[in-house]
Structure 1
């Protein structure tokens, strides 16, 4: 029998075992290397991750809101338009809409939803486009607050790791709170509260289901789904959100259908452009930024309560615009149309006009396109975009054009500006031709007892010019400065009965080529007159003599006491308002006259609160008794005379006790009226920004500025009680002769009632005799330090 030999397969099996062992070793080494590499990569990735602790102290940029005294929102300042809102204030239906649209398993997963990623991928394959995302709400928080937005594998890994950490660091409600306040909704809105205000002009608590569904669909692609820019696409996205809510059981299919069928009432897009802001709000912004810095104003969500009367501000804008347009029409011819639109372009132009004109209301000035001109009636048929109107011949008679020229002045397609005069039965409007005035103006009103700025209109059109002519324009006040000189004289011992001499005056000045000869507006001299009559009728030469009698430096010190801080040139031209002031400064100087001798500084901000509701600032009224109540009343009495019988008689039209003073500078370059009632002190300035342009012949303060003051005060105080000026102790009244100053009996004809402090004057004594004899005879001399102040007469 044959013995078995060695097997031939044994070496093969041994070789195979060695091969397997070798491969396993290599694989083990590779796995080990990869594992070590991944571990090292993880360690490196982990070290590069930002800390999640900052999320516990969430401090996003917020909107700073500015409110009027009556609670109206008048401005917002921000880097990101966001209002922080607690999760408890977000309706449950709103939260469900976001969960359905973005992360239905939010309360179940651990920050990253792998099941959701698979579901989204399947849905996207079915639709042939990306309709769902795989990112969870937690991942979106990470992406928004902790990471940069680039799309790389490393960033996605970081996002997943951070999402996992956040989910184990914060509660689900805390994560949802961050998401709803941080996410961007388009149109400048960050967070759900800003989105609700932007798209529906509501607070988030007041949103309906259809509105909540539309907002929940925006974060996916805010620009693409914007209801302002792409309403059809936005509605489609809204339908998807409602469908998802029904699919997951948040609402019933019937509720979804009903919500989808309901039309949406979108708010008008508003981003607080210059059209919404004005001089007052800009001045508030400037002051708050100067006090607290730009970051505090634009990022810290301040709540700023101001002194503004929003109704009064609208009245002031309207009054200034009306007065300037009337002034412009008195002196300027029609400057022609803005442009001509070819007939084929009318549809597009009308759409633009409809948007820019806004709501058509009586008295509003709007742009229009001329449809046709009837040569027989000389009337234009015009179109506003949303309506039509008629411009009759009477509506442009101020242009003083002939009938022949009128047919050439209005061509079909011309764009003109008209004022909506009155509505007609057929829905159209009767109109009046308008044009934008070239001159500027300012109107400011304060409460004289506190300094609260009630209104501030710093120019005709804030959108075109943000220069605030209430606080920034330094202009010569003319005769509106005279009350300061007369108040100083009263405290020097003068009375309303003191006799001054209105006679020619020649003053030498070495800085000029010839002598300075101040004159009165009427170029006449009235001889001896009482101090009262001199101020009431704004006599120039008398005021120069009075200033010389009391002393220029004394008058400057007195002006400082009243609140004038601008440089005042120490010359006799100061009597005629030759040194430049702002309207705000002049109102401050008048405030003691209206407040029984107490001076207050005008202020705009009442209170400021921080983002948490903590008080940052509260204004404290600082009253300073700078003149006696008796002197203050005497000045009020004198300025009442200006209104009743002097240069400001137009102010009588407000139908209540008022005091004030007109002011006009050389060649009618500046017109002023500063006037007050017992409760409101208001001032108006009118002029061109170019100091060299005249307002026109005869445009004094009484004619150019006072009517604007009247338009404002008459409407603003319409429903307020009629008060009289309080009379302090020690004031007596008597009838006097306006030319001799002699006290007369009440039953004697002629004369004027005047007020006196303490006792009645007896004859010409005291300060009356201190008038320089040289000044009376006109042989005096005075040296000026500035040629410009003596070149012309101011009145």
Structure 2
């Protein structure tokens, strides 16, 4: 073989090798494109459907999604919007075949001259290809894949179809995918309503959505805006002599808007969410069941228990009340009229920060800085003691600039609150308000997550335990008089009533209506800590370890959430039967399949409990007696004025409930129900040691909110009643009626004593021991009707103490034998 032939042979082999490698290379590229099925993705493209939440009436009240998308048709996009984007991104779009070599050369020249990358050569179709291939790994080969995919797109789709897909897929910042979403976030408009100036602003965003964001970088956005308008003018889309006026007029209106918006503005700020605390509560529950991807990308329909009408009433009434009390906290500025002791001023300032009363402005306190810091650090836990130093008759002179200067208290001086409503007939959570507002920085749901001392709203659990144990009845007489018990540490503890006064012997129902602390402690001592804790735990479904076995438990030192209190009162309202709160009924996927059904699970659980008898958390008789007593509280006790007064709750229906105020007025509760709905209201500061203000008790703050809510729930008419269709309210079989003296709860003297109802549970025998409510002695109809009953007589009757032992007569000593 000659050299020429050998050369031909080697060249042929080399060409075959290169051909083979080239074939493999292009085959690999084609396989890369085909493997992903990108063209199929484009052909079947649909925007991500948000997951929607529905209330009990089928109203959509919230949406969940990662990126907000809305499908656009090309014909719905105004020509000047298309022109704006093409001016910036690809002014030769309608003339090239997907790759614009002239643009590539032009960009290369500009970049070489400038010494840095100032301009790109990608066409709009190439950008679309990159968007679709975004999840693929970056490599040298990817460039060839993108180029081939670009050519495939151009071959498969018309220019108008490519633009339609582009405008639906392009990311324009702040969580917006697609032009429709961007128009909503930046201008709160539909795409069809965008003008030339607005289109010019959006057109600069695709390649640098952060750098040119009007919310994050308004100055850069403004500079880029006029450049886009000039580009549009150079291509004949905008009159050149109108560019400056279009720019100036637009920014004159738009600048004040963007500089007052949060830089973190996004689709989250514009999404539908009319009940944010409840929506988040539902989302957290379903994350465990369905997973994050399914919730945000599955286009699910979540049917919840919320009643959006009632929810917005609850939100409105709670917010108005919180705003009103915040204004009271802020008060008005009052000047000291000279002669103020500087040391006392500092102390008053501190007390004022704990007990919001009208503020006093005191200048030149900087020299007292060390004193203020010491008070903040050392005395915060002594608020109750310090409160004794605040003159009751000088409420306009003890609140100063202290709170403005104090980083410790400044952020806590906003009254917060919560409201939750449960339909106790089926467990539906119909309202849930977790605070004044719901923001990215403040998503704390006080209705569920905040545990606060319950105060007197805990007393029904104490009374209920005693009734259940057949220790007392609704009319049993209990002595309201000074009482001292020993703590576990051996120290004396003496509870006091709200007004510091004592009522003497009173019927139990009146003691609850008046919220008498000492009577509650007496009932607790008779019943025993174990029985009270067991009763409270069963109702609230809180673990027993959270209840301190101390007489102070009778006054509500237990820390519970509004949710837990609502469950407890719901069970009382539901005749003692179990209530399992429901937030989600069921979930349907995009194919119409039920993929989660919480309501069915709950119904099956309750049916099983009904069969084995465990559905009765407390006896129906106990619940009935408690409901009767709580009705007296609502209709004539501590809640009556706040509920029914025209200038407060203005509620005209029947109700049952209990107020609760804690020491130093740090918490205000009202837990109430009617025949269908149970609602709990709580107000307080997030910093639990700060007071709502002197005299700001539950009856003043929480009760009117409940009344206004319920009035609006029923439109001020057609209130439900506890009576049946025959107008009767029959008592359960285990309840027996009776009467006691309305003054004191003693056995009434016939023809003399006014009688109040005394409902008790019938006697039962357990393990050979009969349990029954013991009758009090008979009232004498005269002296016993007065408050000044001899407390020694009460002790003698209660503890079988003789006259001699109690000191009514002198003890006689017999001489002892030698």
- Please state how far the C-alpha of 1:681 moved relative to its aligned partner: 3.4
1:521-670 superposed matches below 5 A: 521-550=498-527, 552-567=529-544, 568-595=547-574, 597=576, 599-605=578-584, 608=587, 610=589, 616-617=595-596, 620=599, 626=616, 632=623, 634-648=625-639, 649-653=641-645, 654-656=649-651, 657=653, 658-670=655-667
C-alpha contact (below 8 Å) 2:318/2:436 kept by paired residues: no
Q: Which residue number corresponds to residue 491 of structure 2?
A: 514
Question: CA contact under 8 A between 2:69 and 2:181: conserved in structure 1?
Answer: yes
Query: Aligned-pair distance for 1:205?
Result: 7.0
Greater shift in the superposed pair: 23-32 or 449-458: 23-32
Task: Name the CA shift for 1:523/1:243 in 2 (closer, same or farther; >3 Å).
Answer: same
SS of equivalent to 2:453: coil
8 Å Cα contact 1:441/1:460 also seen in 2? no
Q: What runs of 5+ residues in structure 2 fail to find an aligned partner?
A: 332-354, 364-393, 607-614, 732-736, 763-770, 778-793, 802-818
Aligned partner of 1:458 among 435, 450, 455: 435
Tell me, in whole angstroms, the C-alpha distance in 2 between the residues paired with 1:158 and 1:482: 74
1:673 maps to 2:659: no
Q: Name structure 1 gaps, 5 residues minimum.
A: 1-17, 339-396, 410-414, 417-434, 760-764, 781-795
Alignment of 1:702-713 (within 5 A): 702-703=699-700, 705-706=702-703, 709=706, 713=709
TM-score by length of 1: 0.65
- Note the C-alpha offset of 1:532: 1.1
Structure 1's 322 and 261: CA in aligned 2 closer, same or farther, altered over 3 A? closer
Cα separation, 2, equivalents of 1:191 and 1:96? 13
- Residues 325 and 437 of structure 1 are in contact (CA less than 8 Å); yes or no, is this contact kept in structure 2? no
The Cα shift of 1:531 comes to 1.8
Closer, same or farther: CA 569–778 of 1 in aligned 2, 3 Å? farther
Partner of residue 359, structure 2: 334
**For the Cα contact (< 8 Å) 2:435–2:446, is it kept in 1?**
yes
Match of 1:85 among 59, 67, 71: 71
> Matched residues in 2 for 1:575 and 1:682: separation?
22
The one of 109, 127, 133 equivalent to 1:140 is 127
Q: Where do 1:144-155 residues align within 5 Å?
A: 144-147=131-134, 154-155=141-142
Change in Cα spacing, 1:126 to 1:69, as seen in structure 2 (3 Å) is: farther
Once residues 74 and 474 of structure 1 are traced to their aligned partners in structure 2, the CA distance between those partners, rounded to angstroms, is: 28
Query: Match of 1:317?
Result: 319
Q: Quote the offset at 1:185 in angstroms.
A: 1.6
**What are the residue-to-residue correspondences of 1:53-452 with 2, within 5 Å?**
53=37, 56=40, 64=51, 78-79=65-66, 81-83=67-69, 85=71, 112-114=97-99, 116-118=100-102, 135-147=122-134, 154-165=141-152, 179-202=166-189, 218-219=205-206, 221-223=208-210, 226=213, 229=218, 230-231=221-222, 233-234=224-225, 237=228, 270-271=265-266, 279-302=277-300, 304=302, 307=306, 308=308, 309-326=311-328, 329=331, 331-332=356-357, 334=359, 400=397, 438=413, 440-449=415-424, 450-452=427-429
Give the counterpart of 1:467 among 441, 444, 463. 444
Aligned residue pairs, count: 664
Within-5 A mapping of 1:630-779: 632=623, 634-648=625-639, 649-653=641-645, 654-656=649-651, 657=653, 658-678=655-675, 680-692=677-689, 695=692, 697-703=694-700, 705-706=702-703, 709=706, 713=709, 716-717=712-713, 719-728=715-724, 729-731=728-730, 737-741=741-745, 766-769=772-775, 777=798
Asked if 1:499 is matched to 2:477, the reply is yes
- Asked if 1 retains the 8 angstrom alpha-carbon contact of 2:183 and 2:189, the reply is yes
Larger mean CA deviation between 307-316 and 260-269 belongs to 260-269
What is the CA–CA distance in structure 1 between the aligned matches of 2:505 and 2:179, rounded to whole Å? Answer: 75
Would the aligned equivalents of 1:504 and 1:777 in 2 still touch at CA under 8 Å?
Answer: no
Q: Distance in 1 between matches of 2:76 and 2:585?
A: 31
1:533 Cα deviation (Å)? 0.8
Q: Judging changes above 3 Å, is the alpha-carbon distance between structure 1 residues 527 and 126 closer, same or farther for their aligned structure 2 residues?
A: closer
- Separation (CA, whole Å) in 1 of partners of 2:107 and 2:467: 90
Query: Shift of the alpha carbon at 1:462?
Result: 5.5
Q: Which moved more, 1:274-283 or 1:198-207?
A: 274-283
- Indicate how the Cα distance of structure 1 residues 464 and 155 shifts in structure 2: closer, same or farther if over 3 A, else same: closer
Shift of 1:153: 6.3
Offset from partner CA, 1:463-482 (integer Å, 9 cap, x none): 66443322122222121011
User: What RMSD in Å do the two structures reach over aligned CA positions?
Assistant: 5.8
Q: 1:300 to 1:697 in 2, by over 3 A?
A: same
Instruction: Give the TM-score of the pair, scaled to structure 2.
Output: 0.63
1:189 counterpart SS class: coil
Q: How far is 1:647 from its partner?
A: 2.3
